[in-house]
Amino acid sequence: MQQEDGPGPSFPAGVALVVGGSGGIGGAICAALARHGSEVALTYRTNHAAALSAVEAVEAAGQRGSAHAVDLRDETSVRSLISGVAASHGPIHTIVHAAGSRIDQPYISRVELAQWREAIDADVHGAFHVVQAGLPELRKTRGSFVFISSAGLSRFPPGDVLSVAPKAAVEALLRGVAREEGRYGVRANSVALGIIDAGMFPELVERGELDARYLEAAKRNIALGRFGLAAEVAETVAFLASRAAGYITGQTLCVDGGYSV
């Protein structure tokens, strides 16, 4: 009979890699992983200042942090990222994919082919590059993927196809990973988000793209009647990445305040 692990760290030795850790939600995830006892490497595309701020939060929690520029559309860049993080920090026990494109919100009938192709290339192909490059490292540590997805897969929000459709493809990819890689101890789960008051959302409100009428209607569609917090997402991700979730794989956990109910 297999013995249970005794008391110990929340994570195996090594580092958590947060792809998109410079964003509002990604940065909160980095800080939470550090508070729970993990070193954190994070990626950014162009916002170096935000990446450095996220690293500072990791270090303030007493953990080593590092920031790495990467273009997820470039397979070579992603493979260099993974090998570089492993060489610098040691084994990678978790890969969190929290990157997402900044998109417009047209109805499907008005989506331009160029918009569609750009979203698929950045989000689907980018995630595929991360999965393929990361699997050999996670096999070594019996580690896990955690993907930031959308509650729109359960209850579609009109005008959000450029966000939701790519995430549907990546969720299918992660379920495949869970099924095929479980024999190596690798887990793969996703966290489906409703409206979170972080990342792009405050920017859209500030620019007036989401007006007061929209905000009130959105709250009426949420069972808890409020928007979510980045810290609530971060703690959920930390749980799924930890030993406490060691028998959970191939699952999607909605952090949406009951939007999808």
Please give the average pLDDT of every successive group of 10 residues along the chain, which has 261 residues.
48 94 96 97 96 98 97 96 97 95 85 95 96 98 97 90 95 97 98 90 76 87 95 97 96 96 89
Query: So what's the pLDDT on residue 243?
Result: 94
What spatial distance separates the first Cα and last Cα of the chain, rounded to whole Å? Answer: 40
C-alpha neighbours within 13 Å on the C-beta side of residue 203: 8
Query: So what's the pLDDT on residue 6?
Result: 41
Query: So what's the pLDDT on residue 204?
Result: 73
What does the block give as tokens for 2? 């297999």
Reported as type and span, the H/E element at residue 86 is helix 75-89
Query: So what's the pLDDT on residue 7?
Result: 42
pTM listed for this prediction: 0.92
The C-alpha atoms of residue 37 and residue 67 are separated, in whole angstroms, by: 18
**What amino acid is encoded at 12 in this protein?**
P
Q: State how far the alpha carbon of 105 is from the alpha carbons of 60, 112, 174, 198, 221, in Å.
A: 37, 11, 25, 18, 19
Please calculate the CA angle 231-233-234 and round it to the nearest 5 degrees. Answer: 60
Smallest Cα–Cα separation from 72: which of 148, 120, 125, 23? Answer: 125
The C-alpha atoms of residue 25 and residue 133 are separated, in whole angstroms, by: 23
What does the block give as tokens for 212? 């007061």
Instruction: Answer for the pair 197, 229: CB distance below 8 angstroms, yes or no.
Output: yes
Query: So what's the pLDDT on residue 4?
Result: 44
In which order are the strands placed within the sheet that holds 92-97?
A: 65-69, 39-44, 15-19, 92-97, 144-150, 187-193, 252-255
**Taking the C-alpha atoms of 70, 43, 126 and 195 in order, what is their torsion angle to the nearest 10 degrees?**
-140
Query: So what's the pLDDT on residue 9?
Result: 60
